[in-house]
Amino acid sequence: SAVYGIIGWPVRHSLSPVMQNAAFQAAGIDAVFVPFAVAPERLAAALEGMRALQVAGFNVTIPHKTAIMPLLDELDPAARAAGAVNVVKNQNGRLVGFNTDGAGLVRSLERDLGCPPAGRRIVLVGAGGAARGALAALCRAGAAEVSVLNRTAAAAREMIALIGSESVATACSVLDPDAVAADFWQTRDLIVNATSLGMHGEEIAGLALACLPPAARVYDMVYSPPETPLLAAAAAQGLATANGLGMLVAQGELAFALWTGTPAPENVMRDALSRYRDRT
Ligand code: ATR
């Protein structure tokens, strides 16, 4: 029986065990997925443990996503571009870091919002770790333009410079909401919130939702609560919206495929999550 898991601090809130165990079972794979609470100062020791115990693979969550990078044997290009690892695969004793968060966002935009990023003009809110992975993935998926709206413009500039080499065909810029006219908003296709604003009822300053065209779509990476003030305002205006639950599911499906070499069984992770949430 293979052992998989997730390392985080705290890790109790993680929904990954629910999703991955359901998928292993549905796929008939003899494996278990367990949460490992790893304190920041024990990360290196935990990795030694993963090697010694021949754990087959694991997810990485807060606060380890960046700190783990120099401790791994190899990084794939998406992890390097995102500056973060959320999936590790044990390849014959070599620990290889991947990032499926960005590709999970893209997959969720396609599947849950009917909005593949290719050719779109996008406003990305945020310049932290989550935003950086999103920006790299949106560029890689062929977005036409990404304008980054962030409380601190300098952080947005830095983030764009960091992923600069990735953005061959995408025009990335910092959005100054005071300097753009209404026609900027009238030509946007998609807004993506990559901050945690909205988890506790916060609004996002600087977004002119009312100026967006009727076909514009709004995605919020936050999934708890399921409807943030951003999504409620967009929906009230008749815009198509989706929350980050689909991204959580998609990153998990992509991790499963990396670990097992087979695609995750269709809908199993999403259904496991909704059953779990009904129960709790
Ligand atoms: P994560 O890893 O979730 O991306 P992070 O790296 O701490 O978290 O990034 C948080 C993001 O949310 C940043 O873009 C931050 O803006 P700043 O660069 O100005 O700090 C944004 N953010 C956090 N709290 C905020 C607030 N109260 N108002 C506006 N933006 C906020």
Residue numbers belonging to the annotated binding site for shikimate: 14-16, 61, 86, 101, 223, 251
Q: Is the CB of 117 within 6 Å of ligand 1?
A: no
Residue nearest to atom 28 of ligand 1 (CA): 151
3-state DSSP call for residue 207?
coil
Q: What's the CA gap between 267 and 128, in Å, rounded?
A: 30
ipTM: 0.96
pLDDT of residue 165: 63
Q: Active site includes 65?
A: yes
Q: Is the CB of 131 within 6 Å of ligand 1?
A: yes
What's the mean per-residue pLDDT of the chain? 96
Grade residue 44 by pLDDT with cuts at 50, 70 and 90: very high
Ligand 1 pocket mutation, candidates 61, 62, 149, 150, criterion most atoms within 8 A of CB? 150
SS (H, E, C) 37-95: ECCHHHHHHHHHHHHHCCCCEEEECCCCCCCCHHHCCEECHHHHHHCCCCEEEEECCEE
Pick the CATH number of 102-243 from 3.40.50.10680, 3.40.980.10, 3.40.50.720, 2.40.100.10: 3.40.50.720
> Using a CB cutoff of 8 Å and minimum separation of 24, what contacts does 158-162 make?
158/127, 159/127, 159/131, 159/132, 159/135, 160/135, 162/83, 162/132
Instruction: Give the phi and the psi of residue 55 in degrees, each rounded to 5.
Output: -60, 135
Q: Is the CB of 126 within 6 Å of ligand 1?
A: yes
Q: Is the CB of 61 within 6 Å of ligand 1?
A: no
Q: What's the CA gap between 190 and 65, in Å, rounded?
A: 27
> From ligand 1's centre to the CA of 119, what distance in Å?
27
Q: Is the CB of 124 within 6 Å of ligand 1?
A: no
The residue from 18, 19, 22, 65 that is catalytic is 65
Grade residue 213 by pLDDT with cuts at 50, 70 and 90: very high
For the domain made up of 2-99+246-279, give the CATH fold.
Rossmann fold (3.40.50)
> From ligand 1's centre to the CA of 205, what distance in Å?
12
> From ligand 1's centre to the CA of 56, what distance in Å?
33
How confident is the model over 55-75, as pLDDT tens digits?
999 999 999 999 999 999 999
Domain chopping of the chain, boundaries: 2-99+246-279, 102-243
Would 2-99+246-279 and 102-243 be classified into the same CATH topology?
yes
How confident is the model over 242-267, as pLDDT tens digits?
999 999 999 999 999 999 999 999 99
First to last CA, the chain: 29
